[in-house]
Structure 1
Amino acid sequence: MTDKTLVIDGMALLFRHFYATSFRNQFMYNNKEIPTNGIQGMIRHTFKLVELTRPENLVVTWDMGRETIRNEWYEDYKANREAPPEEMIPQFDYVKEIIHDMGIYQLGIHGYEADDIIGTLADNYDDLLIVSGDRDLLQLLGGSNEIWLTKKGFTEYRHYTERAFKEEYAIAPSQFIDVKALMGDTGDGYFGVKGIGEKTALKLIREYGSIENLIQNIDALSKGVRTKILNDMSSLQMSYKLAKIITDVDFSHDEYLKHRRLTLDKGQIEEALIRHDLRITRKYMDTLNI
Structure 2
Amino acid sequence: MNEKEQQPSFMLVDGMALLFRAFYATAVTGQFMINSKGAPTNAVQGFLKHMLTAVNHFSPSHIAVCWDMGSKTFRNELFDGYKANRTSAPVEMIPQFELAKQAVEAFDIPNIGLPGYEADDCIGTIAKASANHSRVGILTGDQDMLQLIEDNISVLLLKKGYGNYEVHNPDSFFEWKGITPRQMIDLKALMGDTADNYPGVKGIGEKTALKLLIQYQNIEGILENVASLTKGQRAKIESAIDMLHLSRQLAEIKCDVPISCPLDQAIYQYDREKVQNLVRDHEYKTLLRML
Q: Normalising by the residue count of structure 2, what TM-score does the alignment of the two structures yield?
A: 0.94
Task: Work out whether 1:226 is the aligned partner of 2:234.
Answer: yes
Partner residue in 1 for 2:3: none
- Which residues of 2 match residues 146-165 of structure 1 at below 5 A? 146-165=154-173
- Which residues of 2 match residues 75-154 of structure 1 at below 5 A? 75-126=80-131, 127-154=135-162
SS in 1 for 2:250: helix
- Work out which of the residue numbers 34, 38, 43 in structure 2 matches 1:29: 34
Report the alpha carbon displacement of residue 199 of structure 1 after superposing the two structures with TM. Answer: 0.6
Partner residue in 2 for 1:11: 16
Report the alpha carbon displacement of residue 280 of structure 1 after superposing the two structures with TM. Answer: 2.4
**Is the Cα contact below 8 Å between 2:126 and 2:260 reproduced in 1?**
no
Partner residue in 1 for 2:277: 271
Tell me which moved more, 104-113 or 19-28: 104-113
How many matched pairs? Answer: 283
SS in 2 for 1:60: strand
Coordinate RMSD, CA, aligned: 1.1
- Work out which of the residue numbers 42, 48, 51 in structure 2 matches 1:43: 48
Partner residue in 2 for 1:288: none
- Percent of aligned positions that are identical: 43
- Work out which of the residue numbers 256, 265, 275 in structure 2 matches 1:259: 265
SS in 2 for 1:152: coil
Report the alpha carbon displacement of residue 122 of structure 1 after superposing the two structures with TM. Answer: 2.2
Tell me which moved more, 203-212 or 95-104: 95-104
**Is the Cα contact below 8 Å between 2:49 and 2:286 reproduced in 1?**
no
Residue identity in the other structure for 1:207? Q
Residue identity in the other structure for 2:95? P
Report the alpha carbon displacement of residue 31 of structure 1 after superposing the two structures with TM. Answer: 2.5
- Point out where structure 2 has 5 or more consecutive residues left out of the alignment: 1-5
Residue identity in the other structure for 2:124? G
Partner residue in 2 for 1:66: 71
- Structure 1 stretches of 4+ moved >2 Å: none
Report the alpha carbon displacement of residue 32 of structure 1 after superposing the two structures with TM. Answer: 2.2
Report the alpha carbon displacement of residue 138 of structure 1 after superposing the two structures with TM. Answer: 0.5
SS in 2 for 1:146: strand
SS in 1 for 2:182: helix
- Which residues of 2 match residues 184-263 of structure 1 at below 5 A? 184-253=192-261, 256-263=262-269
Tell me which moved more, 271-280 or 200-209: 271-280
In the alignment, the residues of structure 1 paired with residue 265 and residue 151 of structure 2 have an alpha-carbon distance, to the nearest angstrom, of 24
Q: Normalising by the residue count of structure 1, what TM-score does the alignment of the two structures yield?
A: 0.95
Report the alpha carbon displacement of residue 11 of structure 1 after superposing the two structures with TM. Answer: 0.6
In the alignment, the residues of structure 2 paired with residue 266 and residue 279 of structure 1 have an alpha-carbon distance, to the nearest angstrom, of 16
SS in 2 for 1:130: strand
Residue identity in the other structure for 1:284? M
**Is the Cα contact below 8 Å between 1:181 and 1:236 reproduced in 2?**
yes
**Is the Cα contact below 8 Å between 2:125 and 2:259 reproduced in 1?**
no
In the alignment, the residues of structure 2 paired with residue 43 and residue 280 of structure 1 have an alpha-carbon distance, to the nearest angstrom, of 9
